[in-house]
Amino acid sequence: MSNLFEGEFKREFKREFKRDTRSRIELVLNGEKRSGWCEPRTLLSDFLRHELGATGTHVGCEHGVCGACTVQVDGVAGRACLMLAVQAQERRVDTVEGLAGRDGMSDLQQAFQRHFALQCGFCTAGILMSCEDFLKRMPEPSESQVREMLSGHLCRCTGYTPIVAAVLDTAARRRASRETAHA
């Protein structure tokens, strides 16, 4: 998984944020323009949950280790507990709430359901966001590549095997869909 703070994502702020002063943050959340107020020290995970009501983003360790808070910023998966809300100013943020379309669950969510790839569900939102990003970047992964990607997430319930099966199933179905479309 890419780090949101790597070179291509470093950017200068267009305005100054003052300590202990609430600022208006505007972003695109799951395709919809949204805004809210926060202090410059507010984590993106807290801003999403408490200010914008996107409670699908879970907060586990608050150190970037467990992966429960994973979201996509400008299409790249990253930990919302390691990013300040002010860093999301004028950016696109996608959370698990945005995965499902108007027709219901996404193909990845359906695969998780088919393979019983979730149990308590606490880690599921972050894992889904990482898996979606991963499948965009690597549409035909091997089992070992999926397991390596999942190594950045802690799940105490499933044992990961059903999650791996769901990701590989999604990749296979997407490949078959692409082949059918090109036939």
Q: What pLDDT is recorded for position 21?
A: 81
- In percent, how much of the chain has pLDDT > 90? 77
Q: Fold identical between 7-96 and 107-182? A: no
Cα separation, 126 vs 155, whole angstroms? 10
Q: Average pLDDT for residues 16-23, to the nearest whole number?
A: 76
On whether the CB atoms of residues 68 and 58 are closer than 8 A, the answer is: yes
Q: Render pLDDT for 78-111 as a digit per residue (tens, 0 to 9).
A: 999 999 999 999 999 999 999 998 889 999 999 9
Q: What pLDDT is recorded for position 11?
A: 53
Q: What pLDDT is recorded for position 1?
A: 47
Closest CA to 62 of 39, 86, 46, 85: 46
Q: What pLDDT is recorded for position 10?
A: 47
Q: What pLDDT is recorded for position 15?
A: 62
**Which residues lie across from 70 on neighbouring strands?**
79
Q: What pLDDT is recorded for position 14?
A: 59
Q: What pLDDT is recorded for position 118?
A: 87
Whether the predicted pLDDT of 2 surpasses 70: no
Q: Which of 54-58, 60-64, 128-132, 143-147 has the lowest mean pLDDT?
A: 60-64
- In percent, how much of the chain has pLDDT > 70? 90
- CATH superfamily placement of domain 107-182: [2Fe-2S]-binding domain (1.10.150.120)
Helix (H, G, I), strand (E, B) or coil at 156: coil
- Domain ranges, ordered by start, for the chain: 7-96, 107-182
On whether the CB atoms of residues 71 and 129 are closer than 8 A, the answer is: yes
What's the predicted TM-score (pTM) here? 0.87
On whether the CB atoms of residues 93 and 28 are closer than 8 A, the answer is: yes
Q: What pLDDT is recorded for position 157?
A: 83
On whether the CB atoms of residues 29 and 39 are closer than 8 A, the answer is: no
Q: What pLDDT is recorded for position 16?
A: 67
Confidence of residue 183 (pLDDT cuts 50, 70, 90): confident
| 18 burial type by CB count under 10 A (0-12 exposed, 13-18 middle, 19+ buried) | exposed
The single residue listed with the structure tokens 């036939």 is 183
Cα separation, 155 vs 166, whole angstroms? 15
Assigned CATH topology for domain 7-96: Ubiquitin-like (UB roll) (3.10.20)
Q: What pLDDT is recorded for position 144?
A: 98
Whether the predicted pLDDT of 146 surpasses 90: yes
